[in-house]
Structures are given as C-alpha cells and as structure tokens.
Structure 1
Amino acid sequence: MRQLPLGLGPADPCSFDNFHAPGNEAAVAHLRSLAQSPGALAPVYLWGDRGVGKTHLLRAWTEAVQAPGARVGWFEASTPLPWEHDEGWRGIVFDGVQAFDAGRQHAAFALFAQAAALGQQVLAAGSVPPVDLAVREDLRTRLGWGPVFHLLPLPEEHCRAALRREADRRGIFLSDEVMGYLMTRFERDLGSLMGLLDRLDRFALAQQRGVTVPLLKRMLAEEAL
C-alpha cells in the first residue's frame, strides 16, 4: 500500500523577494514602485519564454497590492467569459495574452478601456513582445503603450543555486548525481524544475524514500503510464 504524503502547507506566495532576478532587475524595480504608487501609471508588459517568471512577477505585484486590502482583477485564457469589470479594483492583470481567443481579446480591450477611465493600473504578460502578438490591433497597441520588459532566463549556475535552496527549504537532500540528472535531462527553466522538484518531493514522501536518481526514474515511469 502506498502511503499518502501529508500536506505540508502552501508553498511560499510569489513575492519580489523570492524572485531570482539576475538580468531582470529593472523589471522588478519598476513593478515594486508600481505596487507602492497610490495611482496608476502607464500599462506594463512582460514577455519571455516559458518559465522565466512572468506569472511570478504578476502575482508578486498582485500580492503586494492586495496586502493592505486592495483588490485586483486577474484574467487569463482559461478565465470563463464574460469578464466583468469592478470599479473597486486597484488594477487589472492579463496573463498569457498570446493565448487569448477573439472573445477574450474583445473582453480584454473593454476592460483596458474601463481601467484607463478609472485610473486603474494594468499589467500584462505574453510569450512574445507586443508587436508580435497575434491579437487585434487596438489591444496590441494598448499592451505596448507603456514599459515593455523582456525577462531573461536564469543562467545555469543561478538555476542550480535556486533549486538547491528550495530543496533545502523542503528538507530534501539533492546529491550531485541527482542535481546533474535534473540539469542535463530536463528543461532548464526554473519554473519547470521547481515543478519537477515539487512532484519528486511528494513522490519521495509517498514512497518513504530519499531522493535518488532511481527514485526519480521510477516517478517518471509511473507518470507516463
């Protein structure tokens, strides 16, 4: 019988302090200043490959804004229509705009216009810069109107260090063999590696085993079934 892992509590919330920022300091500094600003400034757009931290930074800004009691509207491709506006929001976030279909593009443009009229901050993120987005022209123009930040992936040495810090936080010993296996056989973006570490942590708890390469291979084999 497999032992089910006990819940260890929620993961640390996304924040500016736990975002690994080498190469992305300007984006972090700008979003920090926005979170502290009482009024809205120009919209901000983040872009980059999967796993570079776009959603993390959007959530970090949202957490910072909501901490004193403000509210934020959050929309992504999976958010069901219709999208309703709330005059009480401090700001609006659009995540993964490259995946918005025609209906969601229309809804996003309408929310953008309502936010501008009320002085609500708008943040958005996508996989490509605004000029390359396959969305309606008026929405693309609004998304690229303000500061645009290209988020860069972590260099390998920073990625290794971040992965080891998270493993230490969870009480997981990652041997050099396991670390080498992770870094050479899987996508090296930090988001994917953190997700893999989370699954491995749960699997190791269920199996009551330490984290080893054979255990990792077994987990992957069972996931493939």
Structure 2
Amino acid sequence: MLQQQILDILQAPAPTLAGFVAGPNASALEAVRALQPGTLLYVWGGPGSGRSHLLQARANLSEPGQPAGLFVPAAQAGQRLPALADVDTPLPAVLIAIDDVQHLGAAAQSALFGLINRWRTAMGTPGAFSLLCAGDCAPRMLALREDLRTRLAWGQVIRLQPLSDQDRALALQDQAAARGVPLGPELLQWILTHHDRDMGRLMALMDALDRYSLARHRAITLPLLKELLAHSAPRP
C-alpha cells in the first residue's frame, strides 16, 4: 500500500503553460501560448526538451468562448487523425496538437497530410483552426513522406533548446521556496545528477518529497529523498 501511494504522488501533475520552465525557450512558450485559429506551429527538440509538456498544456488551455484543444499522441494518431482529416466531420476543437510525429506510421502520415490540407483550406474562414505539431528533429530531417515534411514546415518552426543545469536548479529552488521548503545544495546537486532530467518529473519529485516529509514528520534531507525513492522502486 505504501509503495503504491508513493508511486501515485510521484506521477507528474497535468502540464500547464505556467509550469513550463522556459529557460532559453521563452519565445517558444509565447508562440505556443499565442496560437490563433489559422496558424500552424511545429516545435522540435530532443528528449526532455519539454515539447510534449507544451502541447498538452496548450491543448488543455481553455480560451473564453472556445473549447480546449485536442491532444493526439503518436500512439493514437492512426485511430484519431483520419476523422479529423475528413472535411465532412466537425472538428471537436479549434486547436489540434499532434505529438511525436516522427513515430507516425503510413496511415497516420496520410491522415496528417489530409488534416494539414484541411487546415489550409479553412484558413481565414469561420471554420479556421490551429495546428500544433512536435517532433524530435526539424521537418526536413524527419523520416516521413516528403510531401508531409514540406507541409509541416508551412508554418512557424521553432527549436526547443535544452535546459542547463542552472535553469533546472533555479526552477527547483523557486518551487521549493514557494512551498517554504529548504533545499540544500547537497540535495539539489544529487537530484540533478541522479534523477530524471525531465522538468515535469523533477517538479513531481519535489511535490512528492514535500508531502512525504510532512507525512513522516521529518525534515527534507538527502537520506529522506533516498528513502522515498527506495519505496517507489519496483519490487522484484
């Protein structure tokens, strides 16, 4: 029971734009936030760059008078994109976010090709919508069909720069300070050296550590963190 409770609180919270650690990517964050119907944006970066965080957060962002967007991970693209590409089927949202396009199979690539064509045809009409796509490399480098690579580059293309350890450290310190939690240099350095470098999971770890400390009535220390992680490790 204890292990499951720890695993539950270690799950990363729902991504938000406010929770995105921008670092050198402030312009990318603003471009995602400012997306309007009729625009196409492609963001790319390596693992842990925050591209999935941005897409999910923007899809979850409700605008006045508009429904939240629709987030489509690559694993679901083959089932969900064909209907979105069908011009006779009403779109469920004014923003469609498709993640990890580098993993799209042939059928999903064909559907995304059709969806981008639908986006372009609807541009400037009452049915206009925005497309937000993400991948692990620039459009021209994707191992996708050539006409799809070309269309992904029709809009703005932004590369997400990796966060430095200083960016991560400042973000963790800010979250700790907001909670009134002391975060010593030894603990901070251990986290950055040994734990997942994805900021969503790092923030989830800080949240879990805070709650674990309160539940155990113990100060936040490196031994307490190691105890938390030991409880959360899968059992053989």
Is TM (by shorter chain) over 0.5?
A: yes
Partner AA of 1:121 in structure 2: S
How many angstroms apart in 2 are the aligned matches of 1:202 and 1:159?
21
Relative to structure 1, is the Cα distance of residues 31 and 197 closer, same or farther in structure 2, using a 3 angstrom cutoff? same
Listed as ranges, the gaps of 5+ residues in structure 1 are: none
How many angstroms apart in 2 are the aligned matches of 1:196 and 1:188?
11
Q: State the secondary structure of the residue aligned to 1:123.
A: strand
TM-score (norm 1): 0.79
Listed as ranges, the gaps of 5+ residues in structure 2 are: 85-89, 124-128
Question: How much does 1:18 deviate?
Answer: 3.9
Q: Of 27, 30, 40, which aligns to 2:38?
A: 40
Q: In structure 1, what is the equivalent of residue 120 of structure 2?
A: 116
How many angstroms apart in 2 are the aligned matches of 1:116 and 1:12?
31
Q: Of 136, 140, 147, which aligns to 1:131?
A: 140
Q: Of 50, 55, 66, which aligns to 1:70?
A: 66
Partner AA of 1:74 in structure 2: F
Q: In structure 2, what is the equivalent of residue 184 of structure 1?
A: 193
Partner AA of 1:79 in structure 2: Q
Question: How much does 1:207 deviate?
Answer: 4.4
How many angstroms apart in 1 are the aligned matches of 2:113 and 2:187?
47
Is the 2:119–2:131 contact (alpha carbons within 8 Å) kept by the matching residues of 1?
yes
Is the 1:45–1:147 contact (alpha carbons within 8 Å) kept by the matching residues of 2?
yes
Q: Of 56, 61, 66, which aligns to 1:59?
A: 56
TM-score (norm 2): 0.76
Q: State the secondary structure of the residue aligned to 2:43.
A: strand
Is the 2:59–2:96 contact (alpha carbons within 8 Å) kept by the matching residues of 1?
no
The alignment's C-alpha RMSD in Å is 3.1
Q: In structure 2, what is the equivalent of residue 174 of structure 1?
A: 183
Between the aligned residues of both structures, percent identity stands at 36
How many angstroms apart in 1 are the aligned matches of 2:155 and 2:146?
16
Q: In structure 1, what is the equivalent of residue 16 of structure 2?
A: 14
Q: In structure 2, what is the equivalent of residue 145 of structure 1?
A: 154
Question: How much does 1:74 deviate?
Answer: 1.9
Question: How much does 1:170 deviate?
Answer: 4.4
